[in-house]
Structures are given as structure tokens and as C-alpha cells.
């Protein structure tokens, strides 16, 4: 006898016939009919065929089994046309009766009025986004605000209304119930990322709207033939991997087995050289930019800004990850809820650098949980944690998987493997096994999984044949409702204001930063004015110090944040916005330092006030030019120490080729050609013109401003064929504008070069 079943609502439609006498239904991959929904138990119920009679039996499920609206206790008999409710998932039973629920005459008439089945109607239009107002009633009736055209939806199903701190949803005693994140509720305060299910309709709350999605659980991963080489060595060889929605899977293996490499390939952080990955039946590598930002990735290191407090770090992370226009109160509620789930509320105002290792790890995990991703990858999340913190974190990941999120992590720890649905065992880049932990004991012949690593030491990697899956077929393009209800890609393409605000928060977190930034130019400026009253020399020191400020301030800025940048790129952070925030912020800091230093020369009356306007513009342009050069150093350096060592190599040529330490008349032609493209040479020309502009050329001028006089006299000879004449007034501003243009071009070149370096650093 065949047992025919079909999903009616709660998950995408699906039908199947079973020729066996017993069919187990549940969330576990070992069930005969797998329902990937967090509200469904791993082994929820069983249908048995006995001598022409069909019996359904609940297997101790958490939510119970309901047949035709009646909860069963123990066993019950099934008849064709019966509908089985497992939480929000409705299954039709019996030949000719599966595929859709029966419609009454009233329901059929109502469906015609609302439009095609499965549509959402708001303001008399079919929509996929519902802007939330003070009060919206959802249901099947024509009198509600949002009409959901499906017979499993009650006429007045639920209401979403505005409360003092956001929006809350209330179930209106609906027949099928209302669910948030797979859990049934009567009343619930909505938090950003909550997934609301009313009958077969699923929505994501974004803070001020409900966006329709295909279904609650969307984190299915199917990989086949993944191979990656590095340095001529194969570090991942023909690996296949499967993760069903809502599963917690651990990738195990000794050091060097390829765990992190596999995780990088699956997450798209470092794609495999060959092979194929499907995410919810969509080619992952073919749509990498569109899909990658939907996932969460927690690296092994705790890459969060240590100068920020817990609440600041999570708030900035939320603002960068959520769509523009998300209300601030909704973000604050999301951050508070995330800290509560991670046990960080009492540490919310403490700087991250002062947290314990386990707490920092939880903050790092919390950054990714803010978006409620359907799929999250973690690389050695328990490294460096004590046994208790380790267990609490793994328990948190287990609870996260129970809400429908697919969790994939690498780990060495075997004590908490019992919390996982499956484990994948790697050795020398090959997959030896994937399946439930209990099955792994039988596969490797060990009584305890803690002995697994000892067992792996006895295996010769050359004899291992990788576990494989059937060849993945190319996915077809989604159409109709499927295309319209794909998961939302939350991305803020223009994040510059948020990044600048974060830079300010980091800067003001430590008063020492402010003291050093203001103290450096003040001390240097006063010291220079104390040791000399020679104006050209003072202005030479002013622009050389400005160049040094800009390079040294920014040389470490990107290389020390490479891991943070890569992580934020995964969630769609614009490369341009990130680099622009560094360029503007560090340029502004350098400009402020330059102005403080130059103010010291004016206050002490060492420099004439008449030269200030032209010189200040030149110093500001030099501040941004040197910042661009420093950022380029930071992008191409492999470590902060390397970046610091490169700064003198850039600074010393600026001193030698500026035109002050060696005047241009004494430079050989090749040296002069190189010097003329240097930013310090442009700054010296600006300084020269600022001191001589509108002055009468006489003996006292040539003595007081000797180097500017010599340089501009040489420039005038080359440009006009004549030298200065005694008594003439200097009015030529061409060297000034050439200097301004040169520094502007250096600023642009520094930004472009930094952008290229950032692209290369992203691919490392």
C-alpha cells in the first residue's frame, strides 16, 4: 500500500508517494519525509499502513500532531482528504486529496475577490512589502487591512500595531495559529529580523515594514566536488557537503585537515578553485555578490574594535548591516535583545578590550546574529574559551539552529558534539564522513567520539576516498512567486556617515588619542619657532611635519583592520565608503594637526601673516595627499610593523627632493625631473610663492627669503629666460596653482592606489 503525502502550506508545496508500510515525518534528515521547519520536531509523527488501514502516531513531538483540527493522543486513524498539522506545516493525506486544502463555497468566492491564491493584497494592490502603520489587521476577509489569500488563513488572523517601543503582533485566535521564528505566540514584540508566519505566508520584520519571503528556513547548502590548491599543494580535494535548513553541523579534523579551507569555500570568503555549491537551489558562486551578504561569518579571531563598548560595537554593526531608514528605536531594541540572548547586558558599557575572552567571542557572534541570517559560518568559535564558556556558546548555537538558522562551524572540541545534528570529518583535505554523531562512532569503530582523533592518526591519507554526493544539476531560474519572494538582501550601499561616526567613537574612546593628536603639532611647532627665526626653514618644517603626520597617522589604519574589513565586505559594505571614511577622517585629523602647528608659527610672529592664506591652503592639500600615500602604504603592507617601517622610506626622499635642502639650481636634470613630481616639491613651491607674492624684489628680500628667492628666480629663468630684476614686484602665481594642482592629483592618486590595494587585500 502506498502512503501519499503533500505539503499544503507552511513550506513550499511538495508531494510524494511512499511504498513502505511506515513513514516517519520530522525535521531530522533521517526522517522519511523531511520538513525543514524549526517548529517541527526531529521525529514528529509516524504513519503506518496496516491491512488497508492507515494509522498516525505522534512520536512525543513538542507541538503535538493535529488531524483535521483535532489534537491526537497516541494513535488515530487517517482517511483520504485528512489534513495533518505539525505546527504551522499542513500536510494533506490520501490519493487525489493532496496538494491543496478543500475550499468551501464562501472561500472560493472570497478567493476570486482577492485574486490568485497565495497573493498578499494591501491598499487594493498585490504587494510583497507592507509598510506598517499604527494598526493593521491581517486575514482572509475583505474587511481586513492586509488580505492573505489562502484557506489556511483565518478571516481575522492577526493584528500588528504600534506600541511605545516599536511594533507588536497579536494572534486573533486564528485557526492555524501565528508563528514568530517558528514559535507559536499569542502576543509578541517584533524585533528586526523576526520571521512572522501567518498560514503559508512568511514575512521578515525590517523595523518599519514586513517583507514577504519564500519560507522561514532557507539555509540549505549542497556542495559537490570542491577542490582548492595553494602553493602547488591540494588542500581541499573533491569534497561534497550537505546542510539542511535548521541543522547544526560541525566540521572536525586534525590541524591541517582543511577545515578552515572548507569553511571559506562554503561561505564564499575564499571560493574553491573548482566545484559547485547550491544555496537554496541557486548557484552560489554564480551569484556570489548577491547571496554572500545574506550570510553570517564569525572568524576565529575576535575581530571587533576593542576601543568601542559592547553596545556601541553592536549598534554600529546593526546600522551597517540593516537597510537604510531602519528606525533607531528598532535598532536599539534589536541590540538589547541580542545582548540579552548572549548574556552581555551587564557588560554593555564596558570596552571590548576589557572583556574576557569568552565575552569577546560572544560579541563577535552577536555582530552576525543582528541580521538573523538564515545561514551562519563560524571558524573555531570555542578557541581560547574555558570549558564552561565553551559549552554555553555551543548551547547558544544549538538554540540558534532550533530557530531555523543553519549553523556550520569548525571545531577541535569533542565534548559538545552531542549538541550537533551532524558532523563532517576531514583528513588531508578529504571528507571521510558526514552524518549524525552516533553514526560516526560506528563508522570509525570508536566507543567515544573523544577517541576519534586517535583513530584518525592511524589512517593513511593516501588511501582515503572522499565521501561524495550525486552530481549537482544546474538550477533553473525561479519564476512567478518564487522569484518575487526570495530572501531579502539587506545592504546599505552608502555607509559613509555611519563609518565616520564610528571613527569618531573610536577616537574619543581614549583621551590619550586626543592628547597625542593635539600635543604632537603643538610641541613641534613651538620647538621649531624656539630654535630658529628663519621663516623659509620654519615653513619647510611645517609642511614636512604635515607630510609625516599624514603618513604616520594612516599607515596602520587599514592593515590593522583588514580582518574587520573582510568581514564587513561579506555583508555588503561598500569598498568605496570604507576607504572614503578613512581618507576623510585621517585627512581631517592631519589637517587639524597642521593648522595647530602653523598657528604656533603665527602666534610667535615667526611667519608673516601675509603668507598665511596661500600657505594654509597648501598645507590642507598636503594633509590629504600625505593621507592618501599613508593609506596606500597601509593597503599594500602585510602587517602594521611593515607599514611603520615603510614610512621613513617615503619621508626621506620628500626631504631630499623638496627643493629646500638642495636648491633646484644644484640638481642634475634627472634628479630635478623626479623632484618636480614629489608632493614636498609642490609644497615648497607654494611656500616660496606665499613668501614672495606681491613683495618688491630687493636685497633684504633675497637675504631674508634666500631659498624661496633662489628657487623662484631659477623657475623664472627657465620659464621666461630672464632672472629677477631688482625693484620689480613678484606677482607670478603660476607656481602656486601648479603646486595646488600637484597636491590635488597626489590626493586622487593616493585614493585610487589605496582602492587597488584594498581590492588585492580583500582577495588574500
Please, which pLDDT band fits residue 595 given cuts at 50, 70 and 90? Answer: very high
Q: Which three cell numbers stand for residue 478?
A: 525561479
| pLDDT score of 474 | 44
According to DSSP, the β-strands at 146-148 and 135-139 are parallel
Please, which pLDDT band fits residue 645 given cuts at 50, 70 and 90? Answer: very high
- pLDDT value at 292 more than 80: no
Cβ contacts of residue 264 below 8 Å, gap of 6+?
270, 271
In tens, the pLDDT along 684-719 reads 999 999 999 888 888 778 888 888 888 888 888 877
DSSP element (H, E) containing 131: strand 129-131
Q: How many angstroms separate the first and last alpha carbons of the chain?
A: 58
| pLDDT score of 271 | 86
* Single pTM value for the model: 0.76
User: Among 302, 311, 292, 317, which Cα is nearest to 368's?
Assistant: 317
Residues 74 and 89: beta-carbon distance below 8 Å: no
- pLDDT value at 470 more than 50: no
Q: Which residue has the higher pLDDT, 119 or 78?
A: 78
Give 7's strand partners.
14, 91
Q: Which three cell numbers stand for residue 156?
A: 481575522
Residues 208 and 219: beta-carbon distance below 8 Å: no
Q: Which residue has the higher pLDDT, 566 or 44?
A: 44
Q: Is 233 helix (H, G, I), strand (E, B) or coil?
A: strand
- pLDDT value at 625 more than 80: yes
Cβ contacts of residue 757 below 8 Å, gap of 6+?
632, 634, 635, 636
Residues 93 and 68: beta-carbon distance below 8 Å: no
User: Among 357, 409, 367, which Cα is nearest to 387's?
Assistant: 357
- The CA radius of gyration of the chain, in Å to the nearest whole number, is 34
Q: Which of 57-61, 149-153, 259-263, 426-430 is predicted with the least confidence, judged by mean pLDDT? A: 149-153
Residues 369 and 335: beta-carbon distance below 8 Å: no
Please, which pLDDT band fits residue 724 given cuts at 50, 70 and 90? Answer: confident
| pLDDT score of 72 | 87
208 backbone φψ class: left, alpha, beta (φ>0; ψ -120 to 50) = alpha
What is the percent of the chain where pLDDT is above 70?
Answer: 91
- Mean confidence (pLDDT) of the chain: 84
- pLDDT value at 312 more than 90: yes
In tens, the pLDDT along 198-220 reads 877 888 888 888 988 765 455 68
Most confident region among 228-237, 338-347, 537-546, 716-725 by mean pLDDT: 537-546
Q: Is 764 helix (H, G, I), strand (E, B) or coil?
A: coil
* Residue 533, phi then psi, degrees to nearest 5: -115, 15
CA distance linking residue 67 with residue 75, whole number of Å: 11
What is the percent of the chain where pLDDT is above 90?
Answer: 29
| pLDDT score of 485 | 37
Q: Is 212 helix (H, G, I), strand (E, B) or coil?
A: strand
Sheet of 221-230, strands arranged across: 233-243, 221-230, 274-279, 282-283
Most confident region among 68-77, 333-342, 562-571, 634-643 by mean pLDDT: 634-643
| pLDDT score of 215 | 56
Q: Which three cell numbers stand for residue 496?
A: 559613509
CA distance linking residue 587 with residue 627, whole number of Å: 6
Please, which pLDDT band fits residue 555 given cuts at 50, 70 and 90? Answer: very high
What separation in angstroms does the CA of 434 have from each of 217, 227, 438? 21, 17, 11
Please, which pLDDT band fits residue 546 given cuts at 50, 70 and 90? Answer: very high
Cβ contacts of residue 276 below 8 Å, gap of 6+?
223, 224, 225, 283, 285, 472
* Average pLDDT score over residue span 567-571: 79
In tens, the pLDDT along 364-373 reads 888 888 877 8
How many residues belong to the chain? 764
Residues 119 and 149: beta-carbon distance below 8 Å: yes
Q: Is 698 helix (H, G, I), strand (E, B) or coil?
A: coil
Residues 747 and 628: beta-carbon distance below 8 Å: yes
CA distance linking residue 345 with residue 212, whole number of Å: 32
Residues 197 and 10: beta-carbon distance below 8 Å: yes
- pLDDT value at 676 more than 90: yes
Amino acid at each position: 500500500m502506498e502512503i501519499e503525502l503533500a505539503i499544503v502550506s507552511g513550506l513550499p508545496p511538495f508531494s510524494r508517494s511512499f511504498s513502505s508500510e511506515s513513514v516517519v515525518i520530522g525535521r531530522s534528515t533521517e526522517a522519511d519525509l523531511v520538513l525543514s521547519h524549526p517548529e517541527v520536531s526531529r521525529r514528529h509523527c509516524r504513519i503506518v499502513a496496516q491491512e488497508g488501514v492507515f494509522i498516525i502516531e505522534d512520536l512525543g513531538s513538542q507541538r503535538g500532531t493535529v488531524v483535521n483540527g483535532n489534537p491526537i493522543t497516541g494513535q488515530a486513524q487517517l482517511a483520504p482528504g485528512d489534513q495533518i498539522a505539525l505546527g504551522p506545516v499542513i500536510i494533506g493525506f490520501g490519493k487525489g486529496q493532496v496538494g491543496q486544502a478543500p475550499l468551501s463555497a464562501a472561500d472560493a468566492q472570497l478567493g476570486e475577490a482577492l485574486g490568485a491564491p497565495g497573493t498578499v493584497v494591501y491598499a487594493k494592490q498585490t504587494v510583497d512589502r507592507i509598510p506598517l502603520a499604527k494598526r493593521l489587521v491581517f486575514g482572509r476577509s475583505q474587511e481586513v487591512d492586509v488580505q492573505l489569500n489562502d484557506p489556511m488563513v483565518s478571516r481575522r488572523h492577526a493584528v500588528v500595531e504600534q506600541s511605545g517601543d516599536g511594533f507588536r503582533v497579536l494572534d486573533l485566535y486564528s485557526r492555524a495559529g501565528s508563528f514568530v521564528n517558528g514559535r507559536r505566540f499569542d502576543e509578541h514584540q517584533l524585533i528586526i529580523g523576526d520571521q512572522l508566519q501567518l498560514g503559508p505566508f512568511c514575512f521578515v520584520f525590517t523595523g518599519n515594514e514586513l517583507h514577504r519571503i519564500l519560507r522561514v528556513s532557507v539555509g540549505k547548502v549542497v556542495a559537490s566536488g570542491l577542490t582548492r590548491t595553494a602553493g602547488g599543494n591540494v588542500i581541499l580535494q573533491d569534497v561534497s557537503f550537505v546542510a539542511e535548513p535548521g541543522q547544526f553541523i560541525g566540521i572536525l579534523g586534525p590541524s591541517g585537515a582543511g577545515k578552515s579551507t572548507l569553511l571559506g569555500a562554503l561561505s564564499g570568503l575564499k571560493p574553491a578553485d573548482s566545484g559547485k555549491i547550491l544555496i537554496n537551489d541557486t548557484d552560489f558562486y554564480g551569484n556570489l555578490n548577491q547571496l554572500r551578504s545574506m550570510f553570517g561569518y564569525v572568524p576565529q579571531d575576535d575581530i571587533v574594535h576593542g576601543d568601542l563598548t559592547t553596545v556601541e560595537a553592536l549598534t554600529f554593526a546593526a546600522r551597517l548591516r540593516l537597510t537604510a531608514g531602519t528606525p533607531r528605536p528598532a535598532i536599539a531594541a534589536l541590540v538589547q535583545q541580542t545582548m540579552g540572548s548572549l548574556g552581555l547586558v551587564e557588560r554593555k558599557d564596558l570596552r571590548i578590550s576589557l572583556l574576557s575572552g569568552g565575552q569577546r567571542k560572544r560579541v563577535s557572534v552577536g555582530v552576525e546574529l543582528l541580521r538573523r541570517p538564515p545561514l551562519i559560518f563560524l571558524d573555531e568559535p570555542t578557541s581560547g574559551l574555558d570549558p564552561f564558556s565553551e559549552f554555553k556558546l555551543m548551547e547558544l548555537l544549538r538554540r540558534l539552529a532550533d530557530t531555523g538558522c543553519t549553523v556550520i562551524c569548525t571545531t577541535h572540541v569533542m565534548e559538545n558534539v552531542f549538541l550537533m545534528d551532524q558532523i563532517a570529518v576531514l583528513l588531508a583535505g578529504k571528507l571521510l564522513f558526514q552524518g549524525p554523531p552516533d553514526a560516526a562512532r560506528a563508522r570509525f569503530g570508536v566507543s567515544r567520539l573523544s577517541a576519534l582523533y586517535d583513530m584518525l592518526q592511524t589512517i593513511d591519507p593516501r588511501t582515503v576516498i572522499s565521501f561524495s554526493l550525486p552530481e549537482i544539476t544546474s538550477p533553473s531560474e525561479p519564476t512567478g512567486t518564487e522569484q518575487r519572494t526570495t530572501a531579502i538582501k539587506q545592504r546599505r550601499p552608502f555607509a559613509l556617515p555611519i563609518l565616520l561616526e564610528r571613527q569618531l567613537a573610536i577616537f574619543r574612546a581614549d583621551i590619550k588619542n586626543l592628547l597625542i593628536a593635539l600635543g604632537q603639532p603643538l610641541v613641534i611647532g613651538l620647538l621649531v619657532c624656539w630654535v630658529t627665526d628663519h621663516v623659509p626653514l620654519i615653513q619647510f618644517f611645517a609642511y614636512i611635519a604635515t607630510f609625516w603626520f599624514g603618513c604616520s597617522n594612516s599607515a596602520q589604519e587599514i592593515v590593522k583592520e583588514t580582518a574587520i574589513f573582510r568581514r564587513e565586505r561579506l555583508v555588503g559594505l561598500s569598498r568605496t565608503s570604507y576607504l572614503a571614511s578613512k581618507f576623510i577622517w585621517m585627512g581631517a585629523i592631519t589637517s587639524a594637526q597642521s593648522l595647530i602647528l602653523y598657528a604656533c608659527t603665527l602666534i610667535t610672529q615667526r611667519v608673516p601673516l601675509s603668507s598665511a592664506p596661500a600657505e594654509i591652503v597648501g598645507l590642507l592639500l598636503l594633509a590629504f595627499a600625505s593621507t592618501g600615500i599613508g593609506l596606500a602604504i597601509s593597503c599594500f603592507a602585510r602587517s602594521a610593523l611593515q607599514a611603520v617601517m615603510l614610512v621613513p622610506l617615503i619621508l626621506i626622499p620628500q626631504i631630499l627632493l623638496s627643493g629646500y635642502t638642495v636648491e633646484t639650481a644644484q640638481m642634475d636634470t634627472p634628479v630635478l625631473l623626479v623632484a618636480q613630481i614629489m608632493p614636498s616639491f609642490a609644497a615648497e613651491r607654494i611656500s616660496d610663492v606665499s613668501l614672495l607674492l606681491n613683495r618688491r624684489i630687493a636685497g633684504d628680500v633675497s637675504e631674508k627669503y634666500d631659498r624661496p628667492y633662489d628657487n623662484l628666480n631659477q623657475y623664472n629663468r627657465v620659464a621666461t629666460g630672464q632672472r629677477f630684476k631688482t625693484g620689480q614686484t613678484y606677482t607670478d602665481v603660476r607656481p602656486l596653482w601648479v603646486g595646488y594642482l600637484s597636491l590635488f592629483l597626489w590626493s586622487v592618486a593616493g585614493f585610487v592606489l589605496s582602492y587597488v590595494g584594498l581590492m588585492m587585500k580583500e582577495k588574500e
